Structure 1
Amino acid sequence: MVKLIAFDLEGTLVKSKSSWVELHKRFGTWDKGKEYAERFFRGEFDYATWAELDASLWKGRKREEIMEWANSVEYLEGVEELFAFLRVNNFKIAIISGGLLCLAKRIGEELKADYVFANELVFDEEGRVTGKVLPWVDFRNKGDILLELKEKLKPELTIAVGDGHNDIAMFKVADVSIAINPHEGVEGDYLAKNLKEVKEIIAKILGQ
């Protein structure tokens, strides 16, 4: 029987904490980006609007500039061992990220994840940022995405691993949740300090 595991990306599998914040800081747009974030959390506009406001600050930037950042992001220790262990144990692996697809796709391909979901910047024919975004993963729908995968695959076990408040929706859908170095107020069935501990927890769940 197949098993399913869903990972958050940033702060969970890689050292980057937020695609959006890091690109703002790289391009010198963080002051405005921070203002938009504060306005979103005050409820002034929805997630799709927030994403486009953010991306509009990078309009005209080249795809190469975005990928230079995406390709520089480093893994957290223990990722490859964990993914090898999961494949041996018949897990389908999903990455569900509120960050950007340019990073999530790279990581998904390198780690051979089965599914990758993240937010996609739209580029024009010349490879420049248009300011438009395809907001596939917002602050609330990680659980909906995981639920769709569960209904499709009908796994005997579903595990979710993450660190942030937008991962709580995944935790509610999963049979077992693992919070890795979680933000304040984020709790899972298990708490892990690193990916080595995540692997040990899953082995324990599997009775190994």
Structure 2
Amino acid sequence: MEGTLLKKEYSLDNGKVAPSAWTVLAKRLGEECYKEEEETKDRWLRGEYKGYLDWMADTVNIHKKYGLQEKHLVQLTEDAEFYEGVYELFDWLKKNNAVTVLITGGFKALADKVQRALKIDHAFSGCEYFFDKTGFVELVNLLPSDNHGKSSFMKQIIHEHGVDSSDCIFIGDGMNDRFLAREVGTSIAFNAQPELKEVTTFSIDQKEGRENLIGIIDLFSDRPNETVTNFV
């Protein structure tokens, strides 16, 4: 989602895990919160967490420690901007009878915004915050919808629609997407980390500030008579 449909924070990209709203939120909660959140990335890359749920739970506790309130998440969601060409891409997908799916390890509040704006058919997200009357975190719903979890959700949706994975297209930008990229017939790395580029069918590289999702359409412009996608 972030870095593929929504603009990424390049200033927060240190080559570890693709920058996401998790890091943006931590940064807004203060420098110490940001440093602790960065340390969780190191632990993740060293394999010190049992799985993605464990990593998310650790980060959630850091957010709570530094006073996460509903207003912070609301502001983050409002500030999120789409890349150029995103509406043209989804109009094109609809004209080609695509079923669109958003699978993200990020926040449900942000995924809801994206799904509603682009009329995406299915959306899975990793973290849903529930806030109490005072605006502080009351409950958190976590789903393993990143890394290997992305593949699991994709396989379930593919089964429900009765299609084959070879007919599906995936678009992403992070090393966490490489598991899903290997499962589909066509995969596209969009201004992505090197680890993802190594396993995808296509790679689109654009200059910072010049990102445009029409580049996805251009990949298929020489095959106008084909049904080019089932899933994104």
TM-score category (smaller protein): 0.7 to 0.9
Question: Structure 2 length normalisation: TM-score?
Answer: 0.79
Q: Which has the higher contact order (CA 8 A, sep 6+)?
A: 1
How far did residue 203 of structure 1 move?
A: 4.1
Unaligned segments of structure 2, at least 5 residues: 9-18, 206-211, 227-232
Question: Structure 1 length normalisation: TM-score?
Answer: 0.88
Residue number in structure 2 paired with 1:159: 169
Residue number in structure 1 paired with 2:56: 51
Q: Closer, same or farther in 2 for the Cα pair 1:133/1:52, shift >3 Å? A: farther
The alignment's C-alpha RMSD in Å is 1.9
How far did residue 58 of structure 1 move?
A: 2.1
Residue number in structure 1 paired with 2:153: 145
* Worse-superposed segment, 186-195 or 28-37: 186-195
Give the whole-Å Cα distance in 2 for the aligned partners of 1:77 and 1:137.
26
Residue number in structure 2 paired with 1:199: 217
Residue number in structure 2 paired with 1:81: 88
* Worse-superposed segment, 75-84 or 185-194: 185-194
Residue number in structure 1 paired with 2:39: 35
Unaligned segments of structure 1, at least 5 residues: 1-8
Amino acid in the other structure paired with 2:181: F
Number of aligned positions between the proteins: 200
Q: Give structure 1 regions of 4+ aligned residues with deviation exceeding 3 angstroms.
A: 130-133, 202-208
Residue number in structure 2 paired with 1:134: 142
How far did residue 205 of structure 1 move?
A: 4.8
Residue number in structure 2 paired with 1:6: none
* Worse-superposed segment, 63-72 or 18-27: 63-72
Give the whole-Å Cα distance in 1 for the aligned partners of 2:202 and 2:84.
19
Q: Percent identity?
A: 28
* Worse-superposed segment, 104-113 or 178-187: 178-187
